[in-house]
Structure 1
Amino acid sequence: MKPDDLERLVTLEMPFGKYKGRVIADLPGNYLTWFAREGFPAGEIGRLLALMHEIDHNGLKALLNPLRKRP
Structure 2
Amino acid sequence: MKPESLQLLVTRVMPYGKYKGRIIADLPGHYLNWFAREGFPSGELGSLLALMQELDHNGLSSLLDPLRKR
Q: TM-score, normalised by structure 1?
A: 0.95
Return the alpha-carbon distance in structure 2 between the equivalents of residues 3 and 25 of structure 1: 15
Please tell me the root mean square deviation across aligned C-alpha atoms, in Å: 0.9
Return the alpha-carbon distance in structure 1 between the equivalents of residues 18 and 7 of structure 2: 23
Alignment of 1:18-37 (within 5 A): 18-37=18-37
Aligned length, in residue pairs: 70
Q: Deviations over 1:23-58 (max 9, x none)?
A: 000000000000000000000000000000000000
SS, match of residue 22 in structure 1: coil
The CA deviation at 1:3 is: 1.7
The CA deviation at 1:2 is: 1.1
Q: Find runs of 4+ consecutive structure 1 residues off by over 4 angstroms.
A: none
The CA deviation at 1:69 is: 3.5
What percentage of aligned pairs have identical amino acids?
74
Structure 2 residue aligned with 1:50: 50
SS, match of residue 4 in structure 1: helix
Q: Does 1:39 align with 2:39?
A: yes
Q: Which amino acid aligns with 1:48?
A: L
Structure 1 segments unaligned to the other structure (5+ residues): none
Q: TM-score, normalised by structure 2?
A: 0.97
